[in-house]
Amino acid sequence: MANEWSGRGLDLLMARDPGKGVRGGLEHALRQAVRSGRLTPGTRLPSTRALAADLGVARGSVSQAYDQLVAEGFLVARPGSGTVVAPRPDVAAAPPSGPGSEGPPPALDLRPGLPDLSSFPRAAWLAAARRVVREMPNADLGYGDWRGHPALRRALAEYLGRARGVVTHPEQIVVFPGYSAALTMLCDALRVLGGAAVAFEDPSHPGYLASARSAGLAVRTVPVDGDGLVVDRLGADVETVVVTPAHQYPLGVTLGSRRRIDLIGWACDTGGLIVEDDYDGEFRYDRQPVGALQGLSPGQTVYAGTASKTLAPGLRIAWLAAPPNLVRPLAEARACEDPNVPVIDQLVLADLLTSGEYDRHIRRRRGHYRRRRDRLAAVLSAVPGLRPRGVAAGMHVVVELPPDRYTEDEVVEHIAGRGVAVEGLSGYRHAAPGPPALLVGYGTPPEHAFAPALAAFAAGLADLYRRR
């Protein structure tokens, strides 16, 4: 039986030689993949329509590349069943990799942290870009305001108030080239203001703790349970705490209502600062999205948002809505850094926000990811002993593993042997212990690769947990 297209060729195709043109580059990349055995005989390629959409090229270019390789004998076109890699007497199909074997690199990506990049609203972005370039005054092409273009800050203030319940003003918003840069510059500003210690959730992304340390701040960690951050574990020396209340990353829990009140109370009583990373705040499936914590106490909270999950991380657009006393230190820290967020991209995002296209895109993506979540949940429910967590929101699921069967690393390695990349939770833990678990993202694969990824993942789990 022909192998399903695994997406393995997509990275290869994306790295095609630009000097060969679109069609020539696709031909060259596919030809080399077949010759090297990376695309094995019988592998079914995606349809020309699907591959063209994923790569952002004309369908005709893909069709011509396929036709040329069919003529050369590298591919076979089968009416009604698509295009497959032709049989070759000198290339044997690679056996599936078992646990502990090196094998090929993982071909299907179910790691968390990325949206479906093929869903980027290209047509809407292009239309907005044309309007922006046609209508923007010449002065907008200068260096501009280090806080971000006023049009984007106005659009963000309106959108955040309407969709996330954030209480802010355009003058309190600062635009950054990504959330990591925003957090780094915020830590720099806090240090200049005399800050000494910042707390992070445990588990959380280790890179964010490193950003605080590089700014000269002491780092503390606070455990997370089923209701989110354990507020009463905040130490007396902590002045700032970074939280993900809407959808804690990576556990996926929502900060409980009692904890939200307790956290605001901590900030008011101690003069502390809350940094709210609104991670996956737009993607809630069991009810309306939970409003931002910032709306309860704007004077004690810095709200952080980004277009990385709603649109694409490659845009490198994030923003902070800060209390008035932090705006100047943030802007000064921002002015000392480069690169800036390109002004045309800022204005295009502002156009999408004010036209309502951004809202429409979010609604479409919410339905898309909900359907994917349901398909993943069905796979997990069929395997005894697994405990899915964090399924109500976001783009990943935490899968707690039976503690007495296999280690987290063994499961990750076995799944990788099936060509599927997932992550273990242990890489995000700092001091708080917890059961072995996987982080399984359902946003990353393009649509044509999601079903094969899910099938291979399910087969890998069945290998392990249905054994006796």
pLDDT bucket at 20, cuts 50 / 70 / 90: low
Q: Is the dihedral of CA 141, 146, 149, 152 positive or negative?
A: positive
Q: β-pairing, 437-441 with 423-424?
A: antiparallel
More confident residue, 9 or 224: 224
- Amino acid 339: pLDDT: 63
Q: What is the DSSP string of 207-273?
A: HHHHHHHHTT-EEEEEEEETTEE-GGG--TT--EEEE--SS-TTT-PPPPHHHHHHHHHHHHHHT-E
Angle at 462 between CA 457 and CA 463, to 5 degrees: 100
Cβ neighbours, 10 Å, residue 55: 19
- Give the Cα separation of 453 and 154 in Å (integer): 41
User: Residue 77 pLDDT > 70, yes or no?
Assistant: yes
Cβ neighbours, 10 Å, residue 137: 7
- 448 near 54, Cβ under 8 Å? yes
| Helix or strand holding residue 286 (H, E) | none
pLDDT in tens, 131-144: 999 999 999 999 88
DSSP 113: S
pLDDT in tens, 279-329: 888 898 887 777 899 999 999 999 999 999 999 999 999 999 999 999 988
Q: What is the mean pLDDT of the chain?
A: 86
pLDDT bucket at 74, cuts 50 / 70 / 90: confident
User: Residue 98 pLDDT > 60, yes or no?
Assistant: no
The candidate with the shortest Cα–Cα distance to 155, out of 362, 347, 354, 357, is 354
User: Residue 438 pLDDT > 80, yes or no?
Assistant: yes
More confident residue, 264 or 447: 264
Contacts of 366 (CB under 8 A, 6+ apart): 282, 283, 284, 285
The candidate with the shortest Cα–Cα distance to 333, out of 189, 145, 153, is 189
Contacts of 215 (CB under 8 A, 6+ apart): 184, 187, 188, 190, 191
- Amino acid 4: pLDDT: 37
SS3 track for 394-443: CCEEEEECCCCCCCHHHHHHHHHHCCEECEEHHHHCCCCCCCCEEEEECC
Greatest CA separation found in the chain? Answer: 75
SS3 track for 336-403: CCCCCCCHHHHHHHHHHHHHCHHHHHHHHHHHHHHHHHHHHHHHHHCCCCCEEECCCECCEEEEECCC
pLDDT in tens, 347-378: 999 999 999 999 999 999 999 999 999 999 99
- Least confident stretch, 23-27, 117-121, 191-195: 23-27
Rg (CA), the chain: 24
- Amino acid 121: pLDDT: 96
- Give the Cα separation of 94 and 6 in Å (integer): 14
The candidate with the shortest Cα–Cα distance to 349, out of 337, 338, 339, 361, is 361
- Amino acid 39: pLDDT: 78
User: Residue 101 pLDDT > 50, yes or no?
Assistant: no
Helix and strand numbers (H, E) in the chain are 14, 16
- Amino acid 217: pLDDT: 93
Dig out the tokens for 140 from the structure.
Answer: 């907008």
- 450 near 372, Cβ under 8 Å? yes
Q: Which residue has the tokens 């999408």?
A: 352
- Amino acid 95: pLDDT: 36
pTM of the model: 0.77
- Give the Cα separation of 309 and 48 in Å (integer): 27
